[in-house]
Structure formats: C-alpha cells, structure tokens
Amino acid sequence: MTQRPAFLRHAPGVDPLSDVLELLTVERAVSARLAAGGRWALAFPGVAHVKFGAVHRGECWLRPAPGASERHLRAGDCFVLVTGAGYSVAGAPGLEPVDGRPAFEESVDGTARVGTGDEVLLTGGRFAFDAASARLLLDVLPPLIVVGADEARGTPLRAALDLLGHEAAASRLGASLVTARLGEIVFVEALRAALDAGDHQLGGWLAAMTDGRIGPALTLMHADLARRWTVPELAAAVHLSRSTFAERFRALVGAPPLDHLLRMRMHAAARDLRRSDAPVSAVGAAWGYTSDAAFSNAFKRVMGASPRAWRTAARATPAPGPDATDLPARRPHVVA
C-alpha cells in the first residue's frame, strides 16, 4: 500500500460509503420537532442537500416536490428527501399548504406547533454537505427514500430517530454533540435500509456496492485510493476477465474504473488541501504524484481548478445558511 505522510494520514473507511461520507464533511445537522393536529398543511422551500425525518405519532402526507404525488406516512415511518425542491407535509391528503416557516420561527420550547392538537408528532433534521463533494453522494440517491414502520430493516433507523427526538425534546448537557452524531447515524441507516431493500432508484457506485463482483472491487479501491490500481489487477481480484470487469463496472457505476478512482482520489486530495496547510506538492505526493504538474493536471480535470486556486476558493466559501425548519440558534439542541 502507498504510505501517506503522517500529517495528511487519516483512517480510511472500510467501505466506499464510509469514505464518501468522510469526504463530505457534514457542516450542519439540525434537529427539529413538529406537533400538529386538526386540518393543517405546511410548505417549505427546498433544502440544501438532505432532509430526514420520522413520524413518531399519528399520520401525515408528504409531498416531496411541487406537483409530485403525496406519500402517506404513519407512526414509525422514516424518510429522506434529496430533491432540493420545495416540499410540503399535511395532516390529510389534498390540503392546500401555507408557509411553514413562521411555525418554526415562533417556537418557544423547541417544538413547532400547528393546528388544533398534537396527535401528530414528527422529528427531523438536515445535512448541508461540503459543496465541492456533495455530488459524489447526491447524484446516486433517489429524490425520496421511505423506510416503512413494518420493515425489519428499519429497526436501527427508528431507534436512532427515537434518540434524536429525545434529544430535541429537552435541553441536556452535550446535546449538540449527541444530535450531530445521531444525525449521521440516521442518514447511514436510511441508506442501508434502501440498499437492503434493493431500491432500484439508487444509482452509480452506491447501487453497485450490492453487486457480488463490483462491490468488492470498489471496496478494494477505496481502501487505498492512492494506490496505482490497474484494470487487470482489479479484474483478477474479483475473478473476472479484464473486458468483462471493465464493461460491468461502467454499466453499474456509470464511469470506467480508473475514472471513478481518479474522481475519488482528487476529492480526497481536495479535502487535504482544505483541512491542512501542507504544500500542494506534499498533498500531491501523498496521493501518488511525483510531479507537481501531473497532480495539478489531474486535479484540474476533476475539480475544475488548480490545487492552489481551489484551496483559496474553498477557504473563502462561507458555511451554508440556515434551513427553513432550523429552530432558533439559541436552542441548545441545534448543531451550529
């Protein structure tokens, strides 16, 4: 394996999903609660990047995007939204929603309230990923993932969401840290459930992880992205001919093996440029490039700018702003 300098070394994930989530560097994970009753319907603008939530009590109807069909959700159901479009949630089908932002802006105890009761209780949150690498994951996810209450594969997800809801309901020491970690667990468990269910809307490298040959090849590649892998080497490792492996990989992942490897390697290099003050030449050497020019050309091909220009721009980019359903920043359970 290629050895990286200690100042850039990080513990690699044991699988591609772990590696990609590490690259995404979650910048915000916010939890919120909504109690509602009677006839109610709320609309919200789109979120950057991922919205997740669960119905803890009662039932509701979720419209994941304007003009989309409503999805009936009941107690125990969990959902993940990746549309980026406006969405709405209602206590009955076919209701015309009103702007939901005031309900959260007026929250006084960490819970937004609408309607005439509280027979419906939802908790949720969102992730805002590093903008430079977000497409690595968002491009392979469907607009909506729902894990039903009666699905055994959703048990760990619901347990995590129950804990998330508990943290959101009370001001406790360490709540910000616990909420952030639980948000990450919720997201991973939702993706696991979708993969286990064979969700055909999943695409690219994420869906390919379930393939008996390409999945192990992806795991090998991500275990050592700096290694100068060859297609024959990867094909032999999963007991396929070179041509069969290359064709199958491209069909499932959507890119040739070495193109996928280069994309992931350059996003990892971009992370190192952003997080450290190491010279560009040291970052390139850490990822197997003995020539600054070769590293710069490869980096620009994937990231659209030279390493130096990209580092300057990345450090000048402000953190994402609040979401419509972020509770007021003074609430101790909000992760800033």
* Secondary structure class of 57 (helix, strand, coil): strand
- State the first-to-last Cα distance of the chain, in angstroms, to the nearest integer: 38
Q: How confident is the model over 165-179, as pLDDT tens digits?
A: 777 666 677 777 777
More confident residue, 70 or 175: 70
Total tally of structural domains belonging to the chain: 2
Q: Is 15 within a domain?
A: no
CATH code of the domain containing 309: 1.10.10.60
Give residue 334's pLDDT. Answer: 31
Do 272 and 134 reside in the same domain of the chain? no
Do 180 and 253 reside in the same domain of the chain? no
More confident residue, 263 or 198: 263
Domain that holds residue 266: 205-316
- Tell me the two tokens of residue 52: 């997740």
Distance of CA 252 to the CA centre of its chain: 20
Q: How confident is the model over 294-323, as pLDDT tens digits?
A: 999 999 999 999 999 999 998 887 666 566
Q: Residue range 276-296: average pLDDT?
A: 94
Q: Considering only 26-30, 226-230, 231-235, 290-294, which range has the smallest mean pLDDT? A: 26-30
Do 158 and 214 reside in the same domain of the chain? no
More confident residue, 184 or 331: 184
Beta strands in 130-238 (DSSP E): 144-147
Using left for φ > 0, alpha for ψ between -120 and 50, and beta otherwise, residue 58 falls in: left
pTM of the model: 0.79
Q: How far apart are CA 122 and CA 217, in angstroms?
A: 40
Do 127 and 265 reside in the same domain of the chain? no
Q: Is 327 within a domain?
A: no
Do 52 and 190 reside in the same domain of the chain? yes
Q: How far apart are CA 126 and CA 124, in angstroms?
A: 7
Give the residue from 312, 313, 317, 306 showing the smallest Cα distance to 281.
306
Q: Considering only 21-35, 191-205, 265-279, 283-297, which range has the smallest mean pLDDT? A: 21-35
Most confident of 186-190, 244-248, 311-315, 329-333: 244-248
More confident residue, 246 or 174: 246
Do 180 and 275 reside in the same domain of the chain? no
Give residue 54's pLDDT. Answer: 86
Give residue 335's pLDDT. Answer: 28
Q: Is 19 within a domain?
A: no
Q: Is the pLDDT of residue 227 over 70?
A: yes
Do 102 and 74 reside in the same domain of the chain? yes
Helices (H), 99-174: 101-105, 135-138, 155-169
